[in-house]
Amino acid sequence: MKVLILNGNPKEEYGELDSYLKDLSHSLESKNHETKLIMLRSFQFHDCIGCYTCWLKTPGICCFKDGMEDILKEYLAADVVILASPIIMGYISALLKRVNDRLLPFGHPFLVLRENRMAHVPRYSHYPKTTLLLDSNEKIDEESFKLIEMVYKNSARGVTKIWSSKQEVEEISNEVVNI
Amino acid sequence: MKLSIFNGSPKPGVNNTAVLLERFIEGFEVTEGNKAQMIRMNHEQAYKEAALSFEAAEAVLIAFPLYSYAMPAGIKTFFEQLEPLLGKCNGKKVGFLVQYGFIEAVHARALEKYLEYIAKALDCDYMGTIIKGGCDGLTKSKRGAKKTLTGAYEIGKKFGETKVLDKQQLDDYSAPEIQKQQNVLVMKVLIKIINKVYWEKSLKKNGISVEESFAKPYGN
Ligand SMILES: Cc1cc2nc3c(=O)[nH]c(=O)nc-3n(C[C@H](O)[C@H](O)[C@H](O)COP(=O)(O)O)c2cc1C
């Protein structure tokens, strides 16, 4: 399987998540999964500005050429994507949310009605299974964990699975196989 | 009451959030003594400055478009600037306005829970969240959105008078929660029309055919 891990930890000084993800990546590789770990904070990504160029002018391609195009390619080529982030102010990092927003070119402007609510038509015929890995070290984050889960469960493309970095690396890497 | 309104639409120019806010403010300022101050934030430096204005404000309304079922990354950047204020806002009044394209309220309900949570974590007095779908074309046609705009005015007016966001009024404004089964056929027809007259027309203006609009530059 091809696994893409996007590390949305914005803080260099917060090394725990970085090393956790490295361990996870090694563990997946030892199980013969082709794994790619990308450090998002080493890029200077633009926020999505809602210009709809990727829908209406250059279909599928964002107006910004800042390296995100390579991430979109890797994303589509993967079987499983793990979006990883520390919980900051009760939510995923702005860094990871920025990438999340920039997935707009994966959709198409046309609307459909699905489960009695509106959604967009997909652009590609196949998408990877997307998962979230949340890193929390404080107690208050338990509630945040649930809220983040709620938001992603509510979303059309959704996430297949939400993990916590409190889980053993092996446990997660075993589950990736059976996803 | 002095109300500081933060507009966090990531768009560089005209935006739907501003169109809605304009009417809200009009209603709000009907009551004598009320004054709204608009703070535009849509880039890194602005989020930092906005955090200072937030700290100084008496009452706050944070407005933004729904991006992928949550706040845009920029609003999250703004929230991260507020981290030092966790538990320290002494009951500052905070409300939110979330507008977006899809018609149903359900899309923003999970986010609403988060907004309440984070407001309380800051020790703010959470006033509520104005949720309004079907706002995609507000900057293009104000005529077609009369009800949406009048609703924003009415909410602003009542808020200006009472200093609280009326839960019933907000729910009426956000409706429908999801499409009722008996409306599904009508909605499907409406969606076909939107795809044709809104999206297909916009594509055509850019010289892009429907087939070309489905380009798959990065894969299958
Ligand atoms: C990256 C991105 C994500 C969006 N996600 C959603 C969404 O999840 N649901 C929705 O109804 N509209 C969504 N929209 C549409 C905007 O919420 C809508 O166009 C809004 O009116 C824009 O407001 P503004 O003009 O004030 O920026 C999205 C738009 C962008 C650019």
Q: List the structure tokens of A123.
A: 């652009």
The pTM for the full model equals 0.97
Q: List the structure tokens of A12.
A: 């260099």
Number of domains present in the structure of chain B: 2
B11-35 confidence digits (pLDDT tens): 999 999 999 999 999 999 999 999 9
Q: List the structure tokens of B108.
A: 């923003």
Q: How far is CA A160 from CA A26, A79, B72, B96, B213, in A?
A: 22, 12, 22, 29, 28
Give me the residues of A, 3-42, that contact B with CB < 8 A.
none
Chain A touched by B214 (CB under 8 Å):
yes
Question: Is there a cis peptide before residue A109, judged by omega within 30 degrees of 0?
Answer: no
For helices A94-101 and B73-81, the axis angle rounded to 10 degrees is 170
Do B157 and B188 belong to one domain? Answer: no
Q: How far is CA B52 from CA A155, B64, B121, B171, in A?
A: 33, 19, 18, 32
Measured from the Cβ of residue A72, the count of other Cβ atoms closer than 10 Å reads: 21
pLDDT at site B206? 97
Backbone angles phi, psi at B141, to 5 degrees: -135, 105
Q: Quick check: B27 and B156 in contact, CB under 8 A?
A: yes
Distance CA A133, CA A68 (A): 20
* Structural domain boundaries, residue B207: 181-214
Q: How far is CA B129 from CA A11, A96, A110, B166, B167, in A?
A: 31, 24, 28, 10, 9
Structural domain includes residue B9: yes
CATH of the domain at B56: 3.40.50.360
Do B163 and B69 belong to one domain? Answer: yes
Structural domain includes residue B52: yes
Do B110 and B156 belong to one domain? Answer: yes
Structural domain includes residue B159: yes
Do B206 and B162 belong to one domain? Answer: no
pLDDT at site B94? 98
B186: exposed, middle or buried (Cβ count in 10 Å: 0-12, 13-18, 19+)? exposed
Shortest Cα distance from A9 to chain B (angstroms)? 13
pLDDT at site A179? 87
* Structural domain boundaries, residue A170: 2-177
Q: Out of A59, A72, A91, whose CB is closest to B213?
A: A59
pLDDT at site A140? 57
B38: exposed, middle or buried (Cβ count in 10 Å: 0-12, 13-18, 19+)? middle
- Residue B116 pLDDT > 60, yes or no? yes
Do B204 and B126 belong to one domain? Answer: no
Structural domain includes residue B220: no
Chain A touched by B215 (CB under 8 Å):
yes
pLDDT at site A163? 94
B137-189 confidence digits (pLDDT tens): 899 887 779 999 999 999 999 999 999 999 999 999 999 999 999 999 999 99
Do B77 and B50 belong to one domain? Answer: yes
Q: What value of ipTM does the predicted structure carry?
A: 0.96
pLDDT at site A139? 61
Chain A touched by B11 (CB under 8 Å):
yes
- DSSP for A165-178, written as a single string: TTS-HHHHHHHHHT
Closest to B9 in 3D by CA, of B66, B57, B50:
B66
Ligand 1 site, residue B135, Cβ cutoff 6 A: yes
Number of domains present in the structure of chain A: 1
Do B13 and B114 belong to one domain? Answer: yes
Q: List the structure tokens of B132.
A: 């309004």
Read off the amino acid at residue B204. Answer: K
Shortest Cα distance from A164 to chain B (angstroms)? 19
Left (φ > 0), alpha (ψ -120 to 50) or beta: where does A88 sit?
Answer: beta
pLDDT at site A142? 86
CB pairs under 8 A between A and B: 170
SS3 state at A67: coil
Q: How far is CA A2 from CA A75, A76, B176, in A?
A: 10, 10, 41
Do B119 and B160 belong to one domain? Answer: yes
Do B47 and B126 belong to one domain? Answer: yes
Do B50 and B122 belong to one domain? Answer: yes
- Give me the residues of chain A with pLDDT under 70, please: 138-140
- Residue B64 pLDDT > 70, yes or no? yes
Q: What is the mean pLDDT of residues B182-202?
A: 95
Query: What is the A105 CA–ligand 1 centroid distance (Å)?
Result: 13
Structural domain includes residue B219: no
Would you say how long chain B is, in residues? 220
- Residue B220 pLDDT > 90, yes or no? no
Do B35 and B139 belong to one domain? Answer: yes
CATH of the domain at A30: 3.40.50.360
Share of chain B above pLDDT 70, in %: 100
